[in-house]
Each structure stands twice: as structure tokens, then as C-alpha cells.
């Protein structure tokens, strides 16, 4: 089951300002955002959507204005050029794991119950969570837990994983959770969520794909085109915030002869757009959502 999309009306209302335009939904999922975008488009408008998950293909929208591309959004620029639309009016990305992926226990994304250690958004790729936990070096695992889960005890956890897997292969999500008896009961849900997030990000190369998509989005947006990104944790949000502010992820942007930064985007508003209490009440996943919208600077002006 695909739940209602987060920040549905706010995202589409701010994104679609040209009903005849070309738009991209980078994270199709259940198609909720795409349907709302199509409602805002005229007969001349077009919408392209990306999703690497084969399950999402079952939700394809039958509409002559719509094209669903079964690819990771890191192939955004090449795909749009191949389809004959190298420049677009707006791009939307609702990051992270869909409610459907969490709810489908056999995919291994959820900390609930026990399921195979998978966590692949694209089930055709060879790397899964089981391979990481049973074959990566201790130092690699520690770095994953620290960098992607922001876990202070990453080294201790990695040592535990490597020691225990020598006795018995780690096969399921329950096996993974059972390794960490030293975590106090009142902290377990939060820490397990951080552990699962870290491994999932590594499995799917989520932050690398996000960086590639953001850089490509600037290339294909028309001047004054809009980029709307909904993120669910600080690692994603920091990348999006920095990119929209500086056009890069690290270092300092170039300055002009007057000492001013050359901006790539203007922010629609300086603070992130957040769901209201009513939406959070209806959909608990919305609680951590942050949306930032950038408008590509028209440098010809």
C-alpha cells in the first residue's frame, strides 16, 4: 500500500507555475505527486517520472502526457535528453523509502518483525544488506554506521557485527537487532532506526545518487525553473540546503569581482517548508519531512 504523499499540495502548488511546461517527478512511488502535477497541467504539458523500484511500475498512470522511466534518478539528465526534453520547467524529488517499501516486510527496510536482510530499492542490483554485513571489513562497516547513521558507538557496533558473523551468518533483520543487547531498551527503536538507515543508504548509494541528481537538475532546468526536494533526515537535508544555497556540496563557491557569491538558485523561502499538525496526525511519516524549493537564477538578466 502506498500512503498519501507528504506535502502533496504545497509541493505541487509551488512547483507547477507553467501549465504548458515539462515537469519531472524523480520519485514516482505510488504516483500521488505525479497525479497532482498532471491535474495542474494543460493538454500541452508533459510529465516524466522516475522510479527504480519494479513495484512502482504497477502504478503507471494512463495519460498521454505521462511517461514513467524505470531508472534511478541519478540518470536524470541522460534520460531526459534521450526522450527529447533536455530542458524542463520543474523537478520534484520526495526522497527516502516509500511507505510501500517499509510496509512490505520481505524487502527488509523495517525494524518491525523479522525479514531477510535486503534493503534494495532496485531488487535487480547485486549488493544487498546481507552482503554488507557479512562480507565488508570492520572498518568499512564502522564508517557506514558513523557517517550514515550518525552513531557514536559505530566502532563497537562494527566489532560486534564482525565477531558475531564469524560464529553465525547474519541473515535477517531480527538477527541484526539481536546482536546489540547492550543497547538500553528505551533507546532501541531509535538506535535500530539509525542502524537500518545507515545500511540502507550504503546499499542504495542514496547520498551519491542525490548529489548526482541535484547537479543534473541545475543543468536541465530552464532559467527560473523550480527544484523542490522533500527530505526526511539531516544528511539529505544538509546536502539539499547547501546545494540550493551555493550550487555545491563542500568548499566555498566562487565570488565575482565585487566579492559576491554567484548564486545558482534563489530560495522560494529561507526556512524549510514543514507539514502542519493535521498532516502529521494523518501520516506519521510526515513528522520528519522538510521541503526546500529553489528557483534557478536567470543569469541572462
90 labeled binding residue: no
Nearest to 73 by CA among 301, 227, 193, 194: 227
Written as nine digits, the cell of 54 is 519494479
149 labeled binding residue: no
128 labeled binding residue: no
96 labeled binding residue: no
β-pair type (290-296, 221-231): antiparallel
101 labeled binding residue: yes
Which three-class secondary structure state does DSSP give residue 172? strand
25 labeled binding residue: no
User: What is the three-state SS of the chain?
Assistant: CCCCCCCHHHHHHHHCCCCCCEEEECCCCCCHHHHHHHHHCCCCCEEEEECCCHHHHHHCCCCCCEEEECCCHHHHHHHHHHCCCCCEEEEEEECCCCHHHHHCHHHCCCCCCCCECCCCCCCCCCCCHHHHHHHCCHHHHHHHHHHHHCCCCHHHHHHHHHHHHHHCCCCEHHHHHHCCCCCCHHHHHHHHHHHHHHHHHHHHCHHHHHHHHHHHHHHHEEEEEEEEEEECCHHHHHHHHHHHHHCCCCCCCCECCCCCECCCEEECCCCCECCCHHHHHHCHHHHHCEEEEEEECCCCC
94 labeled binding residue: yes
Annotated binding residues = 31-33, 51, 73, 94, 101
Annotated binding residues for S-adenosyl-L-methionine = 31-33, 51, 73, 94, 101
Amino acid at each position: 500500500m502506498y500512503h498519501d504523499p507528504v506535502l502533496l499540495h504545497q509541493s505541487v502548488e509551488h512547483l507547477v507555475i507553467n501549465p504548458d511546461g515539462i515537469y519531472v517527478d524523480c520519485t514516482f512511488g505510488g504516483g500521488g505527486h505525479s497525479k497532482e502535477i498532471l491535474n495542474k497541467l494543460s493538454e500541452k504539458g508533459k510529465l516524466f517520472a522516475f522510479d527504480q523500484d519494479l513495484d512502482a511500475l504497477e502504478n503507471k498512470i494512463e495519460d498521454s502526457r505521462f511517461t514513467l522511466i524505470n531508472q534511478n534518478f541519478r540518470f536524470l539528465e541522460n534520460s531526459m535528453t534521450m526522450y527529447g526534453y533536455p530542458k524542463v520547467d520543474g523537478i520534484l524529488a520526495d526522497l527516502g523509502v516509500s511507505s510501500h517499501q517499509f510496509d512490505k516486510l520481505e524487502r527488509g527496510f523495517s525494524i518491525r518483525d523479522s525479514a531477510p536482510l535486503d534493503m534494495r530499492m532496485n531488487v535487480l542490483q547485486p549488493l544487498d544488506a546481507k552482503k554488507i554485513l557479512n562480507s565488508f571489513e570492520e572498518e568499512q562497516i564502522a564508517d557506514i554506521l558513523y557517517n550514515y547513521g550518525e552513531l557514536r558507538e559505530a566502532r563497537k557496533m562494527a566489532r560486534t557485527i564482525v565477531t558475531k558473523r564469524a560464529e553465525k551468518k547474519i541473515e535477517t533483520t531480527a538477527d541484526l537487532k539481536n546482536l546489540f543487547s547492550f543497547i538500553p531498551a528505551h533507546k532501541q527503536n531509535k538506535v535500530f532506526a539509525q542502524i537500518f538507515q545507515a545500511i540502507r543508504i550504503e546499499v542504495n548509494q542514496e547520498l551519491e545518487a542525490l548529489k548526482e541528481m541535484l547537479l543534473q537538475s541545475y543543468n536541465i532546468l530552464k532559467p527560473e525553473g523550480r527544484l523542490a526536494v522533500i527530505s526526511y533526515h539531516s544528511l539529505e537535508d544538509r546536502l539539499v540546503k547547501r546545494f540550493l544555497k551555493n550550487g555545491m556540496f563542500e568548499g566555498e563557491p566562487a565570488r565575482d569581482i565585487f566579492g559576491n557569491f554567484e548564486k545558482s538558485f534563489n530560495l522560494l523561502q529561507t526556512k524549510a517548508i514543514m507539514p502542519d499538525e493535521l498532516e502529521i496526525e494523518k501520516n506519521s511519516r510526515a513528522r520528519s519531512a522538510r521541503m526546500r524549493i529553489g528557483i534557478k537564477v536567470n543569469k541572462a538578466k
